Structure 1
């Protein structure tokens, strides 16, 4: 058996970058192939169901990463809320490359992508809301206020990412993370 030219982590990162910038419809097999350094046949060998399976693998990998680095941190018991929040916001900044990268959910929720990935995207957003609601409760917010703040936090993150792209200014994202921190202190 020949060794793989590209390891799974690198492969998924390269595929993710294409999907984040091009969306599902805009990501061609040629671009996916070029980004990974694999021939189309090799991509199909790894992902027999093609582009849809590639996007599903990217989403599954992203879900594992976000769950480990953000959700579990926000929901962890025995750590001061301010520490959980700071650690999570640092990971959110890492996830979106300081505001330079698009959200994979946004990129895959356009046109045909939404039909394919609606359930995964909805589940992902619910995970964000659940985790930030748990954080709100841990700082003494009522359930209603914690849920309201969780929704606003998600809106702020997603909206700031779009503004960063449109305005070409990552300070918008950085300042948004600071405002989120203030919301929970």
Structure 2
């Protein structure tokens, strides 16, 4: 494999499965089919660069498909419904953990503090903006937005811990009702 962009999803899955700390170069090599030399050719900064680029790719996906529509849609209700559908799709209906959350909870948290914080802050802000455009006051919009991100992240953790993806599906359905009320 010689396409750098094609490596990022593979790296992301290794980090999701093993965390940053547990993602050894042996596991990364096995997942990508590349030896250490080839990996360092693509990522001279090593595992830190790999994780940083994977986080940037995830951030770009969420910015384009979730955050920007929430900030700018003329129909905030439709943007919120689309956010929930996009989140459900991205996290494969609760079968996939949030890599940004995995990084935030691990020992590498401080190393990636800025992109992790920025990701969650922009999500919170974008959803609050959509809720405000939908007629909710600023304070309540911020509370509901924070509750929404908390619900999504908590449901992912609980669905994974209980090995029951239906937890995530139920949480999203209940969240939709709360956000659109």
Q: Which bracket does the TM-score occupy, shorter chain normalised?
A: over 0.9
Q: Number of residues paired by the alignment? A: 180
1:148-167 per-position Cα deviation (integer Å, ceiling 9, x unaligned):
00110011001000110111
Q: Where does the alignment leave 5 or more consecutive residues of structure 1 unmatched?
A: none
**1:1-185 counterparts in 2 under 5 A?**
5-78=1-74, 80-185=75-180
Q: Where does the alignment leave 5 or more consecutive residues of structure 2 unmatched?
A: none
After the TM superposition, which parts of structure 1 deviate over 3 Å for at least 4 consecutive aligned residues? none
Q: How far apart are the structure 1 equivalents of 2:40 and 2:29?
A: 10
Q: How far apart are the structure 2 equivalents of 1:134 and 1:181?
A: 16
Q: TM-score, normalised by structure 2?
A: 0.95
Kindly state the Cα deviation for residue 95 of structure 1 after the two structures are TM-superposed.
1.6
Give the secondary-structure state (helix, strand or coil) at the position aligned to 2:145.
Answer: helix
* Kept in 1: contact 2:4–2:42 (CA 8 A): no
1:103-134 per-position Cα deviation (integer Å, ceiling 9, x unaligned):
11221123431121011111111011011101
* Kept in 2: contact 1:23–1:110 (CA 8 A): no
Q: TM-score, normalised by structure 1?
A: 0.93
Give the secondary-structure state (helix, strand or coil) at the position aligned to 1:116.
Answer: coil
